[in-house]
Structure 1
Amino acid sequence: MQVPLEIAFHNIEHSDRAETQIRDHVARLEDIYDRLTACRVRVDQRANNTNQTIPPVVRIEISVPGFKDIVVAHEPDRLQRRFQRPDLTNAIHEAFRIAERQLSEFKEKLANRTAVMMHEAANEFAGQVAEITPGEDYGFLLNKEGGMLYFHRNSLLSGDFDRLKRGDYVTYVEEVGDTGPIATKVRIKQKNGRD
Structure 2
Amino acid sequence: METPVEIEVHGINVLPAIGEVLEGHIGELASGSGRIITSGRIVVTGSAHRHRSGGLYDMRIHRALPDRGEIAVDRIDHGDERYSDIHFASNDTFKRARRLLQAEARRLRGQTKHYEPRPASTIASIDPSGEFGFITTPDIQQICFHRNNVLKGAFDRLEPGVHVTFAE
**TM-score (ref. length: structure 2):** 0.60
Q: Contact 2:47–2:56 at 8 Å: present in 1 too?
A: no
Query: Given residue 103 of structure 1, which amino acid in structure 2 is its aligned partner?
Result: L
Runs of 4 or more, structure 1, over 6 Å off, are none
Inter-partner Cα distance in structure 2 for 1:111 and 1:89: 33
How big is the shift at 1:96?
Answer: 0.3
Partner of 1:69: 70
Partner of 1:11: 11
Q: Contact 1:41–1:61 at 8 Å: present in 2 too?
A: yes
| Higher RCO structure, 1 or 2 (CA under 8 Å, sep 6+) | 2
Partner of 1:95: 93
* Partner SS state of residue 84, structure 2: coil
Unaligned runs of 5+ in 2: 115-137, 139-168
Residues 17 and 87 (structure 1), Cα distance of their counterparts in 2 relative to 1, 3 Å cut:
same
**TM-score (ref. length: structure 1):** 0.52
The structure with the largest strand share of the pair is 1
Partner of 2:24: 24
C-alpha RMSD of the superposition = 2.4
Residues 78 and 62 (structure 1), Cα distance of their counterparts in 2 relative to 1, 3 Å cut:
farther
Inter-partner Cα distance in structure 1 for 2:77 and 2:19: 19
Inter-partner Cα distance in structure 1 for 2:88 and 2:102: 21
Unaligned runs of 5+ in 1: 117-177, 179-195
Paired-residue identity, %: 23
How many residues matched?
113
